[in-house]
Each structure stands twice: as C-alpha cells, then as structure tokens.
Amino acid sequence: MLKKSTSAGNTARRHYSYNKSSFTSQAPPPNSGQYRCFATNEWGTATTNSVFVRKSELNNFKDEPPRTVSVEEGAPFGIDCDSPDGWPPPSVYWMLQGQNWLKTINSSRLTVDPEGKLWFSNVTRKDASKDFLYACSAASYFRNEYKLGNRVHLEVIESGSSAGLQNKHEPVRQYVSRRKDVAFRGRQMKLWCIFGGTPLPEIRWRKLGGALPWGRTTYDNYGKTLVIKHVDFEDAGDYTCEASNGVGLAKSYSINLQVLATPRFTVEPEYMTAAEGEEVTFRCKADGKPTPEVRWIHNGKPLEVGFFLSFPHSSISLLKLEDSPFRQILLAATSSTVIYSKCPLLPHDIRRLITTRTVWLPRRASPSAT
C-alpha cells in the first residue's frame, strides 16, 4: 500500500496486489508530494523511508524584445537576469548570441553571481555588442534543455582616451556572500567576493586567526570565489577578502561562516533474536549540529509511553515482547538545520532533515518446559 501525505494531514491511498513492488506515475502536479510505502499483514506493518516526488519543469523567459543599455567606458557595471522558475532550480549563466551562433563568456572581467546577474569589473570598448547580444541562459541539466532570454544590446560610451586617468576607478563592491553564512559538514561551500574597478582589482583571501583549510581550498572566477571542499567544523570562523588595484584604498569584506551537520548515526541498532516475554534493548547514537532528536517508531507508528523504557537518546528497552513472528523497529534522527533561499533578503528556510535505520526483530520460540 502506498500513502501520499498532504498538507491537510489526509492521505491519498493506492492499493496493489502482493506481487506489486513498485509504483509508476507520470507525476502531474496533483500527484506531487511525499510518499511512503507500507507493507501490512496480520502480524503488523513495515514501512519505508518517505520520498518526495515533484514534477521537473523549466518555464520560459518573458517574451520581450532586446533592450539597449548604455554605459561609460571603464566603469563597473551589472546586467540583471530575470530567470524563469523551474524544478530543479535552473543554473543561470550568460552567453553571447550572434546571428547563427552562441558563445560562452570566459573573461576575468566578467562574472555571473549566484543570483544570475552578469557583472563587468570594468567595461571596455570591446564589450560593445555591435554584431551580437548578451543573452541570459537558464539551463536544466536534469531535463537536458535550456532557455534564452533577457537579451541586451550594450553600447559603450567611449571616453576619448584609452588610458587616461579619468578611466581609473578604485575598487567597488559588486556582489559578496552574506555577512553570516552557513556551511554543512562534508559538503562544498563557496564564498563570493566580486569587486569592480579599473584596473581590474586583485582579490586576496585570508582566514582570521589561522590559515585557509589546507589542501581543501581552490579558487573560481579568477579568485573572486573561494571554494572549500569537504567542509569540517574546524572551517568555521571569519573569512576576509581584500580587493586592490592601485587606485585609492584597498577594500575588504568579512564573512562569518558557521558549520552545521546533518544527522548521522555513530552507533546503529543490531539485529536481535529473543523469546516471547524477554526484555530486549536496542542502542544507538547519533551526532549532528544542532544536536539531533532521536525518535523510535514501531511498525510504522511512534512508540507509545509505557511500552518502552528509554535512556537519553541512546537506547530503548522493550519491556515485554508480544507473540509475533517479527516486528519492525524504526529509528529516526531528526534535526532542524538552516539553509538559505535564493534571495538573500528573504528569511532563511527551515527544513527537517531525517536519517533512518531499520531493525527487524524475528521471534525465537520460548524454551519448552521440562
């Protein structure tokens, strides 16, 4: 039996014969949601971990003609991309679009931030789009397709001197990571520091009170992005980027990085065989940050008070085994962890992360009286 959970707390059920072990759906929008499989017989119910089903899609850009933008030569500049919605969220980047050709952008002066905005550290005459357009691209690698939109014709207002003092600009902040950011243990983290200016600013990174994570840091976007691989708790702290180009004072920006961890089991329950009437103890330990909450589920339902004796988040004792061929003990460790939304001005999303382990408990016959 397959159950679909709904926001109202009801369940939509689909029944299958005993030899049906899979579920197939074209997943139109009404079928999107959280699913869990239950196997039930006269002895009880076993349940799987829940899975979330959502239809993949990539919408179109708004249908609008190319727009013309004028900018002064040598000035820092940015072009917004109003990217379409999609699931999974599309990757956004910019391309050069000609009459019958497309070309990716690869320049130390041009950078696309995580919001999809194209930044010019400084604009040169070569950036003028006389025979091409700047086009924003939203790509869905899951669907193997992409969409183009927000086309821009760029006009560069020449200063009259290719190297005059009037073309020099001290470093100016264009895009940076939020002041307080969050990384997760074992994952990759990117810290952003995009500055404009003429000449092109040089970016240097450092960590307050210590060196950058040795052997696990690389740089993207010509040094504007610090990449930390396999994040660990020791990577928490304050990171500073400094931008300098010999014009005016160097500019710096600091980011406080907090490291959290999704739940994981360090001690897992073992398979147990016991006779009816015996006491059985399962032990488990889980870690994470914030500290995870450990819950126990029996035959698909939370264990009721009085059925077991629990020691602080580490073990459970079944006081009396009932006469049953087997029973399923499901251990769940959950933790509320913070993730950030696409728009840094919106409140952080809170999601429930869950890790589960299952133990099957077969029944061993009671010893015969002698």
- Joined together, the tokens standing for residue 190 give 């990117």
Q: Which residues is 358 bridged to in the sheet?
A: 330
Helix (H) or strand (E) holding 76: none
Q: Are strands 274-275 and 349-364 parallel, antiparallel or unpaired?
A: parallel
Q: Would 162 be classed as within a structural domain? A: no
Domain endpoint, select from 157, 183, 209 = 157
Domain shared by 111 and 192, yes or no? no
Using CA atoms, how far residue 112 sits from 93, 109, 220, in Å, is 6, 10, 11
Distance CA 19, CA 6 (A): 27
pLDDT at residue number 1:
55
Q: Would 76 be classed as within a structural domain? A: yes
Domain shared by 69 and 122, yes or no? yes
Q: Would 47 be classed as within a structural domain? A: yes
Q: Would 150 be classed as within a structural domain? A: yes
Answer for the pair 299, 45: CB distance below 8 angstroms, yes or no: yes
pLDDT at residue number 3:
54
The residue segments making up the domain with residue 29 are 1-55
Domain shared by 243 and 290, yes or no? no
Domain shared by 249 and 333, yes or no? no
Domain shared by 143 and 114, yes or no? yes
pLDDT at residue number 53:
86
Domain shared by 149 and 244, yes or no? no
Domain endpoint, select from 96, 124, 157 = 157
Answer for the pair 190, 225: CB distance below 8 angstroms, yes or no: yes
List CB contacts of 24: < 8 A, sequence separation 6 or more. none
Distance CA 299, CA 359 (A): 11
Distance CA 277, CA 320 (A): 5
**Phi, psi (deg, nearest 5) at residue 259:** -110, 120
Q: Would 165 be classed as within a structural domain? A: no
List CB contacts of 75: < 8 A, sequence separation 6 or more. 122, 123, 169, 198
Q: Would 7 be classed as within a structural domain? A: yes
pLDDT at residue number 135:
97
pLDDT at residue number 337:
34
Answer for the pair 4, 15: CB distance below 8 angstroms, yes or no: no
- Joined together, the tokens standing for residue 140 give 């869905």
Domain shared by 221 and 318, yes or no? no
pLDDT at residue number 6:
45
Domain shared by 153 and 84, yes or no? yes
- Joined together, the tokens standing for residue 317 give 């004792």
CATH number, domain with residue 283? 2.60.40.10
Q: How many domains does the chain have?
A: 4
How would you write the pLDDT of the chain (370 residues) with one tens digit per residue? 555 554 434 444 444 334 455 555 554 556 788 888 888 888 777 777 788 888 899 999 999 999 999 999 999 999 999 999 999 999 999 999 999 999 999 999 999 999 999 999 999 999 999 899 999 999 999 999 999 999 999 999 987 665 544 578 999 999 999 999 999 999 999 999 999 999 999 999 999 998 999 999 999 999 999 999 999 999 999 999 999 999 999 999 999 999 999 988 888 888 777 777 777 777 878 889 998 887 777 766 776 655 554 444 455 555 444 544 445 555 555 554 322 222 222 222 323 334 444 444 444 444 444 4
- Joined together, the tokens standing for residue 235 give 């990577």
Q: Are strands 225-228 and 202-207 parallel, antiparallel or unpaired?
A: unpaired
pLDDT at residue number 2:
54
Distance CA 326, CA 168 (A): 77
Q: Would 164 be classed as within a structural domain? A: no
Domain shared by 71 and 143, yes or no? yes
Q: Would 211 be classed as within a structural domain? A: yes
pLDDT at residue number 370:
43
Domain shared by 366 and 273, yes or no? yes
Domain shared by 226 and 240, yes or no? yes
Secondary structure of residue 142 in the 3-state scheme: coil
Distance CA 35, CA 329 (A): 20
> Would you give the DSSP letter of residue 334?
E
Domain endpoint, select from 9, 26, 55 = 55
Domain shared by 367 and 321, yes or no? yes
